[in-house]
Chain A
Amino acid sequence: MRLLRTTNAPRPAHVRLRLSFDRPSRRDLVVFGGYCAAAALYIAIGVSYIDFLFSFWVGAGYLLIVAWLVPTLVRRLA
């Protein structure tokens, strides 16, 4: 019995090289912008009053107020 084979090696599947970037959504950028604004204020206070930079708990408390408490209150009032 004869062996059957193709005349040429099978060609690779047609693929197009695509570079994909893990781009943030608009909402991600808005959140990031809010944190940048919070950071700018934190840095301004810290550079003016250096003791403000010493404690993680001060930083975490500040962030809770600026990035969560204030926006939550503003949303409720609106």
Chain B
Amino acid sequence: MSWAAHDLEPYAIQKHTKLKLAFVPLLIGSYSPDMMTKWFVYGIHLGPWDLKASDPAQFHRGWPGFGFTHSLIYGVAIGLILWKVFGSKLWGVSFLVGQAAHAITDTGDTVGTMLLFPWTFHFHLGAWAYAGQTGRMTDAAAYFSGLGSMWDLVFVVYGLWSWRVLTSSYFDNLIYRVDAFWPWLHRWVPRGALIVLYRAAFFYGTSRWIAWTIWAHVIHHYPYDLSWGGPHWVHAAHP
């Protein structure tokens, strides 16, 4: 799984794609595969109950489980609903692109994703360890010690290099005009706040990347292991 790439990729896609895309559904699509599942992968305490998947990797990425949310057909299905039921082709296509980016990015870890579901084969590069089953903190420590965090860093640097994507003029001329959502929101929310909201995912992804890196390596001294499939000090799940 990725920790910051899903926050940052939509800005890179927005900059480079030749398609007309709307940023909000692009970002929702990028978050969507984990929206309903992440809490159950790590587990939560709810009063006297501890709710956690018995096999988090299977639940998160497998079948039976919710692994279909990381498949291309899931993005197509939700995209078609947005298009045909809610009448917005722009939102449908944008969601599809964001969701596909998430599903493809997550093929980088050792569990990978069932991209071509209902074919249940897991496409996986195995570049960094999937450690969701170890709990949120160990997963964070492992992720920010391996190649996954370097992949996130690529998008941090690329976003800063493409700084114009984050400017108010870019927002006014491209983001705001393309999608009727922004003028609708502007009826209640001032322009300055809209620009801040547009930048929020980049701020969140970048700041969180730095904070987790400090937490893992300055405060807790987890060792870096940038070898393929690492870090090898954590037990990596496999399909």
Contact = CB atoms under 8 A, between A and B. Distances in A.
Interface of A: 22, 24, 28, 31-32, 35, 38-39, 42-43, 46-47, 50, 53-54, 56, 59-60, 63-64, 67-69, 72
A35 B192 contact: no
B211 A59 contact: no
B196 interface: yes
Contacts of A47: 211, 214-215, 219
Q: For A24, A63, A72, which residue has the most chain B Cβ atoms within 10 angstroms?
A: A63
| Interface SS of chain A | helix
Interface size class, chain B: 20 to 34
Contact of A67 (B163, B196, B206, B210): B196
B222 interface: no
A46 B196 CA distance: 20
Contact of A42 (B31, B168, B211, B215): B211
B204 A59 contact: yes
A6 to B, nearest CB: 42
A69 B212 CA distance: 27
Q: For B192, B193, B203, which residue has the most chain A Cβ atoms within 10 angstroms?
A: B203
A53 B204 CA distance: 8
B27 to A, nearest CB: 9
B162 to A, nearest CB: 9
B206 A64 contact: no
A59 B208 contact: yes
Contacts of A54: 136
A56 B196 contact: no
Contacts of B31: 56
Interface in B176-217: 190, 192-193, 196-197, 199-201, 203-204, 206-208, 210-212, 214-215
Given A24-B163, A28-B167, A68-B193, A53 B203 contact: no
